Structure 1
């Protein structure tokens, strides 16, 4: 079992030259995407740049990034200060209906969202609205975004290839909601960057490390305008990566084989599945649980990122929490301490590689925008992996420090909570008060 774990580590964990090689490849993919050449990075314009930090007013924000949608009212107070006045979150699927299935239509989905927006309104107030829509979209203006392709296993029909803003506007009209005026549509990474840069002018990279993964940054000279603009890279689709047999198997069994290769190696949607596939392989090879066949390790996506976090969080000598987890979820009594250590080791190896891959992409961005590292860079990060996965944030900081050696003090990673929600309000304010960047 020790040798199997050692071999797994050798196949997953990257040496520093490998990280730098991935960073170089990522930087090249950025340049190709900006130049309109073939690239796995879409390099989508946001038509927005940094906020000034003095935007003020009350704005409505809708944050649609997965199977839950949030509606917020946010007051921007200027001087980088803001306050969330109210919010509610609601699932898009329950036992009665699933708005994310192919049987549901875009009209039904956004009508449901419009109903939730209506419940947040106060009489007599006009609400400029910012929508965070965290799926690959081709923007043709600050308030126009055509969905390229659903990700995160969402399959609602009649949305791909259509302008999401128009679908929302029609839903608002159908519900006779006249107080709400859509102003901007953004990606969650853009929202995270806007939120951070509203407070900190050195923030120039925004990233999501949660269920999915993506990064945006401020391009000094955007191809469309020649001026600074936030570019949404859709970096979860980056594909020049060292794949293991487990990555290949996960990809083949996914709903979109060959797509979102990086996201399938670092995203919370897939981290647990990678761990499951490895453990299943170890069981099949009679390295673990020789007297049983735990169903959880043979059921796709039954091991979640929360389970991986639990495995990593247990630092007790006998790994009693891991033992209890095996009893409760795996129906395994009397596990050996060596088996529990192996589970924890597998989880650690998968997370270490995820951190290294994310760090490689950030390195590629910094090499692109500031090759001499002459400026301070704050990387604003939101998402459950960065915030809650034991060791993730610290390992990311250490990895970046090792890459940039003595210059690491110029690079800071920063948790930007609720960036995608507040950022939508800031985007709406930027358009409302300055007119935005024309499409």
Structure 2
């Protein structure tokens, strides 16, 4: 038996030897809604651009589906960063502590040593101060194991929960996700809570703390290799993107100078209904059966957490219609999560399709791709390194300005 398929616009044609044409026609009818023409993709691109601009607006961002959050990261690496940094990556039932050494003189080598610490289930649901005490204790143990107790190193803090960032070292937790429900943390500055926990110990301290979104870390880790990298994108369990934006376009921040990295939070694209016309019945079903119906529409259509479920629902319906497995379902097929997204990755080559489609949608742009190596670890350290560099440059300018004033006197 041989299988051939061709896609032209939004038409998917399948030819398989030995299978009746009426059966193939029915299969095609199921697959057709998943194949988007270039024209439809361009329409989606236009809608996304409209949402991005709404999220940047001073008065419109409150009702924007794509939140466009300022990160207060105002520059990418320029290759001169160097030094020792700590990175703390908290986003699930485990968290990591890293020591990152950036060695400019060794051709931009970044060396890392790290340790993974578990968070007990009861701590995920208990008082917030206990959680941060645990984090501080693990950080202290790591510093001791690395013989770093006497050093006060800057820290990049990747905190992968929805936050409203006020400054690079001030971030307010909006809500817990991923099974966490620690009391006394929502609505609070997580940097302050971490510092307070470290001070309660009293046996070590850290320097400046930079809050880092994992998407920003992705961009920054690649930016140290290639200074032209100004977009970070994650398509994994979830999806998100960030990019460097001109401050004059960021109306929600009172500044017109320079640039800032914007965390788009584009997983919410479509929450306003702007993708309703391309959602399949299976997309709708995945949304309805999720823990947060009506939220993160775009993420549920393309990311790893949900794509397997979309295919599973499709397979279930095709089986019940007698097109697969002789009409006989199985316990695995009927179980949520029974068809894993990794199976799709093994069937399709998701990066070649992505790059080819981007070339078609933006033929005037020369887009290249870099694979991020540990954006939430190395990238967090790079954000901190860039912040340190900018602070040094600012101090030098102030000193130079002061000397000029003295000369004039």
- Per the TM superposition, whether the score is higher than 0.5 is yes
1-structure distance, mates of 2:393, 2:306: 36
Against the structure 1 CA distance between its residues 293 and 87, is the aligned structure 2 distance closer, same or farther, given a 3 Å change threshold?
same
Which of 23, 34, 50 in structure 1 is aligned with 2:56? 34
Name the counterpart of 2:353. 395
Kindly indicate whether the alpha-carbon contact (under 8 Å) linking 2:94 and 2:117 is maintained by their aligned counterparts in 1. yes
Alignment of 1:400-415 (within 5 A): 400-405=358-363, 407-408=364-365, 410-415=366-371
Where 1:75 maps in the other structure, the secondary structure is strand
C-alpha RMSD over aligned residues: 2.4
2-structure distance, mates of 1:81, 1:286: 58
Which of 382, 387, 392 in structure 2 is aligned with 1:426? 382
Name the counterpart of 2:222. 196
1-structure distance, mates of 2:129, 2:319: 46
Q: Which moved more, 1:16-25 or 1:220-229?
A: 220-229
**TM-score normalised by L of structure 2:** 0.79
1:347-404 superposed Cα distances (whole Å, 9 cap, x missing partner): x5xxxxxxxxxxxxxxxxxxxxxxxxxxxxxxxxxxxxxxxxxx12111111111222
Name the counterpart of 1:277. 313
Where 2:377 maps in the other structure, the secondary structure is helix
Aligned-pair distance for 1:305? 2.4
Name the counterpart of 1:344. none
Alignment of 1:247-396 (within 5 A): 247-290=283-326, 292-310=328-346, 312=347, 348=348, 391-396=349-354
Where 1:230 maps in the other structure, the secondary structure is strand
Aligned-pair distance for 1:66? 3.8
Q: Number of aligned pairs?
A: 352
Aligned-pair distance for 1:177? 5.0
Name the counterpart of 2:5. none
**TM-score normalised by L of structure 1:** 0.74
Alignment of 1:121-140 (within 5 A): 121=143, 122=147, 123-140=149-166
Aligned-pair distance for 1:17? 0.8
Which of 162, 169, 172 in structure 2 is aligned with 1:143? 169
Alignment of 1:204-219 (within 5 A): 204-219=230-245
Against the structure 1 CA distance between its residues 251 and 20, is the aligned structure 2 distance closer, same or farther, given a 3 Å change threshold?
same
1-structure distance, mates of 2:340, 2:238: 13
Which of 136, 139, 159 in structure 2 is aligned with 1:117? 139
1-structure distance, mates of 2:266, 2:203: 36
Considering Cα pairs closer than 8 Å and 6+ residues apart, tell me whether 1 or 2 has the greater RCO.
Answer: 1
1:133-165 superposed Cα distances (whole Å, 9 cap, x missing partner): 2232111100111122344x4342333322221
Kindly indicate whether the alpha-carbon contact (under 8 Å) linking 2:198 and 2:205 is maintained by their aligned counterparts in 1. no
1-structure distance, mates of 2:122, 2:350: 32
Q: Which moved more, 1:65-74 or 1:11-20?
A: 65-74
Which of 244, 247, 255 in structure 1 is aligned with 2:280? 244
Q: Which moved more, 1:110-119 or 1:266-275?
A: 110-119
Against the structure 1 CA distance between its residues 77 and 307, is the aligned structure 2 distance closer, same or farther, given a 3 Å change threshold?
same
1-structure distance, mates of 2:232, 2:315: 33
Kindly indicate whether the alpha-carbon contact (under 8 Å) linking 2:127 and 2:182 is maintained by their aligned counterparts in 1. yes
Against the structure 1 CA distance between its residues 86 and 42, is the aligned structure 2 distance closer, same or farther, given a 3 Å change threshold?
same
Name the counterpart of 2:80. 54
Against the structure 1 CA distance between its residues 118 and 295, is the aligned structure 2 distance closer, same or farther, given a 3 Å change threshold?
farther
Name the counterpart of 2:195. 169
Q: Which moved more, 1:205-214 or 1:172-181?
A: 172-181
Name the counterpart of 1:14. 36
Gapped regions of structure 1 (runs ≥ 5): 313-347, 349-390
Against the structure 1 CA distance between its residues 285 and 109, is the aligned structure 2 distance closer, same or farther, given a 3 Å change threshold?
farther
Q: Which moved more, 1:83-92 or 1:28-37?
A: 83-92
